[in-house]
Amino acid sequence: MSSGTRDLLVEAAARLLDEGGVEGVTLREVGRMAGVSHNAPYKHFASKQALLAAIAARDLARERDAIAAQTTPATPPEQALRVVLRHYADWALHYPARFKLAFGAWQAASPELDQAAHEAQALLTGIVAAAQEAGALPAGDPVRLAALVRALAHGAADLASAGHLAPDGKGHAGPGDLIDDMLLYLRQAAASGGASTGLCDQDGGRAIQEVAQ
């Protein structure tokens, strides 16, 4: 429903984005693929940036739904966290241009974009909090810890997408490997310094004091 032309334009732009990056997205080519004139997009979007923002909003909403779909209430939180972070990295590697558009600086901010991104982050934070309660992650503000694990997945995916993750030859670590490493280290940190287990409290507490000065 609604005018199908708008969806056709977004679909055509997304395809051009995958093929030739953001520089390959041309309003003239978008119109040609959608079967309209080269400036028909201006009847549906205020500018080219607004069309790109529509792609980002669609992708962010899909990612949010994918997170929700991949994590049923029955899945252990540690496994759910790994699946979500790996999906984040996989999506970045498969659709680098759309990834950079969705998670880059939005030239044209829209409530749709903000809401979808916020909801996805809230879902991740919930998984992190559940993993904390299960003892798989260190205690502390789940919002802050969710930002940390997301930052690592984002950085590993972005560097790998640009070919800057493993300058050396074979046997290198991919984004998924780094995510696994981090989850292992966080689990060890939870066992060492966390209040949930109580093991090694004296040493973990000392390390916290030192770093916090």
Partner DNA sequence: ACCTGAACACCGTTCAAGT
Q: Write out the residues near DNA by the rule CB under 7 A.
A: 3, 5, 25-29, 31, 36-40, 42-44, 47-49
Which of these segments, 2-10, 30-38, 62-70, 137-145, binds a copy of itself (CB under 8 A)?
137-145
Residue selected from 31, 96, 142, 176 as contacting a copy of itself according to rule CB under 8 A: 96
170 interacts with a copy of itself by CB under 8 A:
no
Q: How far apart are the first and last CA of the chain?
A: 60
b/e burial code for range 14-29 (CB count within 10 A of at least 16 → b):
bebbeeeebeebebeb
Q: Calculate the CA dihedral of residues 138, 142, 148, 149 and round it to 10 degrees.
A: 80
Residue 6 Cβ, how far from a copy of itself at the closest point, in Å? 25
Residue selected from 63, 98, 165, 176 as contacting a copy of itself according to rule CB under 8 A: 165
> Which CB atom, from 45 or from 88, has the smaller least distance to DNA?
45
Residue 12 Cβ, how far from DNA at the closest point, in Å? 12
- Report d(CA 94, CA 37) in Å as an integer: 31
162 interacts with a copy of itself by CB under 8 A:
yes
> Could you tell me what percentage of the chain is helix, strand and coil, using 3-state DSSP and rounding each to the nearest 5?
75, 0, 25
Size of the site for a copy of itself (CB under 8 A): 56
b/e burial code for range 131-166 (CB count within 10 A of at least 16 → b):
bbeeebbbeeebeebbebbbebbbebbbebbeeebe
186 interacts with a copy of itself by CB under 8 A:
yes
Residue appearing with tokens 């798989």: 136
Residue appearing with tokens 């979007």: 45
167 binds, among DNA, a copy of itself, none (CB under 5 to 8 A by kind): a copy of itself
49 binds, among DNA, a copy of itself, none (CB under 5 to 8 A by kind): DNA
- Report d(CA 140, CA 124) in Å as an integer: 15
> Which CB atom, from 47 or from 197, has the smaller least distance to DNA?
47
Contact footprint for a copy of itself (CB under 8 A)? 96, 103-106, 114, 117-118, 121, 138, 143-145, 147-148, 150-156, 158-159, 161-168, 173, 175, 177-178, 180-189, 191-193, 199-200, 203-204, 207-208, 211
